[in-house]
Amino acid sequence: MASEPKDKVFALVGISSSKESFGPIDYSMSVRQVYTHTAKHIIQTSGRLDVICAKQQNSNCHDLPTWVPDWTRPLRKQGPTIVGLHHSTQDFFASGAIPSNVRFVGDEDILITSGVIIDKVQRLGYKFKRRLYPGEDISDILRTLHGWWSIITSEKGHSIDEQGAFCRLISCGNWASDDIEPYAARMKSIAQTITEQYPSLTFPLSSNPTGEELDEKGTVAALISASFTMNRRRFIISTSKIMGLAPLECAKDDLIYLKEVTTYLLERHTLMALCLEKL
């Protein structure tokens, strides 16, 4: 395990394809300089912005630019590691097959890229932080899901279309299906679990006959799985009824920005990958 934060980068340079192009291994550089240089090198040599998607709500104790990941090992007190949204799509490319149009200005710690602002955040749901060792205690997950689903039902409804969108969203696409039955089964299990543990809460669903059923263990496993992709994110709805999972720091009126094929959130000049579903 690397004890020196710079070694998280330098230790891999010698065995990477960037051995010749990376530049000198200079331990006199600050962690900020090393990580910024590394992120810039990755963007320039790959022609893609995938590295931005690894930037997921870090503590930023090294005062890094907002587009530069912190590759140091997170402190245990910060809770479970955040699952980057780029892990949810096979063969993910942040800019598709098109080389990214980027440039660096100032001391080269400012990244400028082209894109289209498509919407802005209108409503915010509860923030969710997964506990480090939750075991099978899913109470915090259930309360969060109830709050998020209540926003959807008030904005749109609770048909199978909304149920499917909600399942895809909280799992960041991992629960995607061409059939409605898996969505109906998961949502029915979530609703039953919430009403059993919190009789005063309602979780309305439209009636969708399904042959699939999740037992108690299957429900707990599904919810714990979703808690990894929900971790350190919050639910949002845009002005045009796009719903998404955004960084904890997201605020009302933050802009949703489309960079070629990947959607990001512009929050006070911070660029973050965003998971979206259209209601």
Per DSSP, which regions of 82-230 are E strands? 102-105, 110-113, 116-128
pLDDT at 150: 96
d(CA 274, CA 66): 15
**Beta strands 275-278 and 233-238, pairing class:** unpaired
Write out the two tokens for 143: 């309360």
Q: Are 63 and 31 in contact (CB under 8 A)?
A: no
CB atoms closer than 10 angstroms to residue 243? 25
pLDDT at 55: 59
Q: Per-residue pLDDT for the chain (279 aa), expressed as one digit of tens each?
A: 556 888 888 888 888 888 888 988 999 999 999 999 999 999 888 887 778 766 555 566 788 887 888 887 655 555 556 666 554 555 555 555 667 788 888 777 888 887 778 889 999 999 998 876 656 678 999 999 999 999 999 988 899 999 999 999 998 888 888 888 889 999 999 999 999 999 999 999 987 666 677 888 899 889 988 998 898 889 999 999 888 888 888 889 988 877 654 555 554 434 455 566 665
pLDDT at residue 86, rounded to an integer: 52
Beta strands in the chain (DSSP E): 102-105, 110-113, 116-128, 233-238, 242-247, 255-259, 262-267, 270-273, 275-278
Using DSSP, state whether 114 is helix, strand or coil.
coil
C-alpha pair distances (Å), 153 with each of 87, 139, 197, 226: 29, 21, 21, 20
Q: What is the pLDDT at residue 268?
A: 44
pLDDT value, residue 5: 85
Per-residue b/e over 106-140, b at no fewer than 16 CB within 10 Å? Answer: eeebebebebeeebbbeebbebbbbeeeeeeebee
